[in-house]
Amino acid sequence: MPAEKTPIISLKNATKIIENGDERKVILDNVTLDIYEQDFITVLGGNGAGKSTLFNAISGTLTLSSGQVIINGQDVTRKSPEKRAKDISRVFQDPKMGTAPRMTVAENLAIAALRGKKRNLKLRNIAAYKKEFSEIAEQIGNGLEKHLDTPTGNLSGGQRQALSLLMATIVAPELLLLDEHTAALDPKTSVALMNLTESLVIRQNLTALMITHRMEDALKYGNRLIVMKDGKIVQDLAADEKSQLKLEDFYRIFD
C-alpha cells in the first residue's frame, strides 16, 4: 500500500464565534481541512460564507474560539501572523495591499526577498539585485521590469497586483493564499494575472488556496474545489469530480 500523505497545513474543528451582547454569530463552524503539498485549491461561496474567515484563521489575523491550526506538525493556533509569515504568503483583493506605495518596485521586491531569512539584503545594496529583479518582473509581460525605480503607488492596478503576486512568491511559501486577487481588475488584466498565477504555482511547485468569485476560474484552475456556506465546508471536490461539473452544477450547489 502507498504511504499515506501527510498534510502540510491542517485545520481541526476550527470555530469562530462572534458575541455582541445577546447576539451570538458563528462565522466559522467546526471546519476541518487538510491541505497537501502542491494542492491548488479553489474556494467558492457567497457573501458571508466564511471564505475570508477561513483565510484569516490560517494566516493568524483571526483568533479561533476553538479548534487548531497546524503547520508541518506544529500547532500554531496561538501564534501571531508575524510568526506564521515565513510559511504563509497572501495576496489580497485590493492591489494597494501588500505593497509599500512610496517604495520603488525594486525596494518592495527586496523586502519580500527577506521573508524567513536573516536580513542580509540591505536596501542600499539593491543595485546588485536589479538584474535578478528585472528577470523576475519580466515574466509578467506587462512592462513591470521597466519600472524597477518607480514608486509602487504610481503603477497601474494590474501592475501593482502582479507585483504583489511576485512578492508573495519570490521566496516560496509553504502556502500561498490568494484572496480574490483578480476581483478588482478588468477582465483582460484578470486573465493575464490568472495565467501568471498558474504558471508560478506550477513552476515553483507551490501549494495554494484561492478564493474566487468567478465560477469559470473555479472550474479551470486547481486540483481541488471547496464550496463554503454558513461558515462550513459543504463540498470538497477532487480534480476528477470537479472536471465533470458544468457551470449550471455550481448554481445548484449554491441553492
Please check whether residue 93 lies inside any domain of the structure: no
Nearest-CA neighbor of 175 among 63, 76, 251?
Answer: 76
Do 75 and 182 lie in one domain? The reply is: yes
Domain coverage including residue 215:
1-87+175-255
Domain tally, the chain: 2
Do 135 and 14 lie in one domain? The reply is: no
Do 236 and 182 lie in one domain? The reply is: yes
142 three-state secondary structure: coil
Sign of CA dihedral 201, 207, 211, 212: positive
C-alpha cell at 198: 498558474
The set of residues, in sequence order, having a beta carbon less than 8 Å from that of 17 and lying 6+ positions away, is 24, 25, 26, 27, 65
Please check whether residue 117 lies inside any domain of the structure: yes
C-alpha cell at 219: 472550474
Do 9 and 59 lie in one domain? The reply is: yes
Please check whether residue 237 lies inside any domain of the structure: yes
Do 83 and 205 lie in one domain? The reply is: yes
Please give the torsion angle defined by the CA atoms of residues 236, 238, 241 and 242, in that order, rounded to the nearest 10 degrees. Answer: 80
**0.85 cut: is pTM over it?**
yes
Q: What is the DSSP letter of 166?
A: H
Do 208 and 155 lie in one domain? The reply is: no
Contacts for 33-37: CB closer than 8 Å, 24+ residues apart:
33/226, 33/233, 33/236, 34/7, 34/9, 34/10, 35/7, 35/8, 35/9, 35/10, 35/175, 35/207, 35/209, 36/5, 36/6, 36/7, 36/8, 36/207, 37/5, 37/8, 37/205, 37/207
Burial grade of 79 (CB within 10 A; 0-12, 13-18, 19 or more): middle
Do 118 and 73 lie in one domain? The reply is: no
In angstroms, the CA 109 to CA 103 distance is 10
Do 3 and 83 lie in one domain? The reply is: yes
| pLDDT at residue 245, as a whole number | 79
The CATH number for 35's domain is 3.40.50.300
Do 181 and 66 lie in one domain? The reply is: yes
CB atoms within 10 A of CB 17: 14
C-alpha cell at 186: 478588468
C-alpha cell at 199: 504558471
Please check whether residue 37 lies inside any domain of the structure: yes
Nearest-CA neighbor of 153 among 111, 101, 108, 98?
Answer: 101
Domain end position, chosen among 134, 152, 172: 172
| pLDDT at residue 2, as a whole number | 43
Please check whether residue 94 lies inside any domain of the structure: no
In angstroms, the CA 52 to CA 27 distance is 10
- The answer to whether 90 and 177 have CB atoms below 8 angstroms apart is yes
Please check whether residue 119 lies inside any domain of the structure: yes
Domain end position, chosen among 136, 153, 172: 172
| pLDDT at residue 1, as a whole number | 38
End-to-end CA distance of the chain: 40
Q: Collect the ranges in the chain with pLDDT lower than 70.
A: 1-4, 116-125, 250-251, 253-255
Do 103 and 179 lie in one domain? The reply is: no
Do 62 and 161 lie in one domain? The reply is: no
Please check whether residue 92 lies inside any domain of the structure: no
Residues 62-110: tens digit of each pLDDT: 999 999 999 999 999 999 998 998 899 999 999 888 899 999 999 999 8
Domain end position, chosen among 172, 193, 208: 172
Do 74 and 125 lie in one domain? The reply is: no
Please check whether residue 140 lies inside any domain of the structure: yes
